[in-house]
Amino acid sequence: MTHPDWEPPLAALAAALADAGHLRSKQWIEAFAATPRHLFTPEVIVRTSDGYRTLSGDVPATRQEWLNTVYADESLVVQDKPHAAGHRMPSGEPLRVPTSSSTMPSLMARMLEALDVGDDMRVLEIGTGTGYNSALLSHRLGDHNVVSIDIDPDLTAQAAPRLVQLGYTPTLLAGDGAAGAPGHDPFDRIIATAAVSEIPLAWIRQLKPGGKILANLRGELAGGTLCLLSKEDEEDEVIGPVLPLGGHFMWLRPDLADPHRPHEHTPDARRGTSSRSTTSLPPADVPVDDGGFRFLLQLQLHAVQALWRGPAFDPPGRAERDAVIVSTADGSRAEAFTSPEPSKRYRVAQTGSRRLWDTVEATRRLFDDLNQPTPDKFGVVANDSTQFVWFGNDDDWHRWPLPLI
Ligand SMILES: C[S@@+](CC[C@H](N)C(=O)[O-])C[C@H]1O[C@@H](n2cnc3c(N)ncnc32)[C@H](O)[C@@H]1O
């Protein structure tokens, strides 16, 4: 029996991923062409200008729009929760935080190619979500070689029958993937589809010698840093590059009930003191939107939360003025105003326990000294006693400790 409504878009998606070079190997092209994404995404939540809509394959009025959406190269939110701080959208509707999604197919394709699997390798996936990626892995490696874990038992319970429809019964576990899958190890590969700010030691320990971990090492400023880390021998150490792949994931959450990272709650901004100073560095010269700079600042300024250019209240002028603003999770904040004083210097206001602007300036200089590197010029080392990001060569070498937040 053919399915005229979903077979053509499924074939078109697989072909488009191959044509664009996201898929390169015959095996992965076949896996994508044989895995109907709509089976794993019976309902998706789309954000509109004033709220949210759910598209369902079971509702005739939205079926075509749903099919177009699930076979587009887009990430699809399948589960969300209200924002804990009670934030609202401009329309008044409560803001929601996505807690599970089906990853954008082109990113999934690039990651699976980068994972560098061989036939019959045993793989652990962190973040089962819809089960779509478990199906791709099961097609490529055999379901007996696939273990997948999600913190939300509802999600693994929903994923299991979808996988069965395709004839797959990989091992699905409900629990905190930060602990890996003890009792199901060792693995040749671990692929995380939820982001971490350091590499969980359990993953390193549960990897075979020669094994690899592909994970999104994420901070708040620069998320798109996928690392491919190899364990060379029996020693519990992995080392490898940040890949030039882009793409970032929702956080690996320590607590199912809390859709936020702990620091996303309102920090205590009253701690510490305020100070005013001036600087000769024009704040507008800080490349707030440059991915490489944001990545480097995230390494230099532990737990940095935000860096942006926008209006800030300037008490001496009693008005809002254009500024570059940086903040950290402990509530520290710096505002550097972009228009010069008569002295040709720029005013800086800093509050909280840390003097953030000083680090922003030092990072601006370092960024130039290092020739404005993109994230994929950095590497990562993680073992049972230390974890760090590094840059350079034997003669000129820098390192920054993890975690990033
Ligand atoms: C981007 S989704 C995964 C997409 C999935 N691989 C797919 O193909 O649909 C991220 C998933 O990570 C899960 N997750 C978050 N924290 C976790 C944790 N501590 N352990 C395991 N899974 C976690 C979420 O519940 C969510 O389903």
Q: If pLDDT is split at 50, 70 and 90, which confidence band does 260 have?
A: low
Q: If pLDDT is split at 50, 70 and 90, which confidence band does 49 have?
A: confident
Query: What's the CATH superfamily of 7-85+100-241?
Result: Vaccinia Virus protein VP39 (3.40.50.150)
Q: Is the pLDDT of residue 94 over 80?
A: yes
Q: Is 327 in the pocket of ligand 1 (CB under 6 A)?
A: no
- Which residue's CA lies nearest to atom 11 of ligand 1? 127
Distance between first and last Cα of the chain:
52
Measured from the CA of 134, which atom of ligand 1 is nearest? 8
Q: Is 100 in the pocket of ligand 1 (CB under 6 A)?
A: yes
Q: How far apart are CA 90 and CA 22, in angstroms?
A: 37
Q: For the chain, how long is the longest CA-to-CA vector? A: 79
Ligand 1 probe mutation, 124, 250, 256, most atoms within 8 A of CB = 250
Q: Is 126 in the pocket of ligand 1 (CB under 6 A)?
A: yes
What residue spans define the domains of the chain? Answer: 7-85+100-241, 266-369
- Which residue's CA lies nearest to atom 22 of ligand 1? 150
Residues 6+ apart with CB under 8 A from 161: none
Q: Is the pLDDT of residue 266 over 60?
A: no
Whether the CB-CB separation of 321 and 337 falls below 8 Å is answered with yes
Q: Which tens digits make up the pLDDT trace of 328-385?
A: 988 899 999 999 999 999 999 999 888 999 999 999 999 999 999 999 999 999 999 9
Q: Is the pLDDT of residue 74 over 60?
A: yes
Mean pLDDT, residues 271-284 taken together: 88
Q: Is 295 in the pocket of ligand 1 (CB under 6 A)?
A: no
Q: Which tens digits make up the pLDDT trace of 178-207?
A: 999 999 999 999 999 999 999 999 999 999
Per DSSP, which regions of 153-253 are E strands? 171-174, 187-192, 207-216, 226-230, 237-241
| pLDDT value of position 395 | 81
The model carries a pTM of 0.94
Cα-to-centroid distance, 204 and ligand 1 (Å): 19
Measured from the CA of 108, which atom of ligand 1 is nearest? 8
Q: How far apart are CA 33 and CA 249, in angstroms?
A: 24
Q: Is 264 in the pocket of ligand 1 (CB under 6 A)?
A: no
Cα-to-centroid distance, 318 and ligand 1 (Å): 47
| pLDDT value of position 1 | 43
Residues 6+ apart with CB under 8 A from 99: 79, 80, 81, 152, 250, 253, 259
Return the CA Rg of the chain: 23
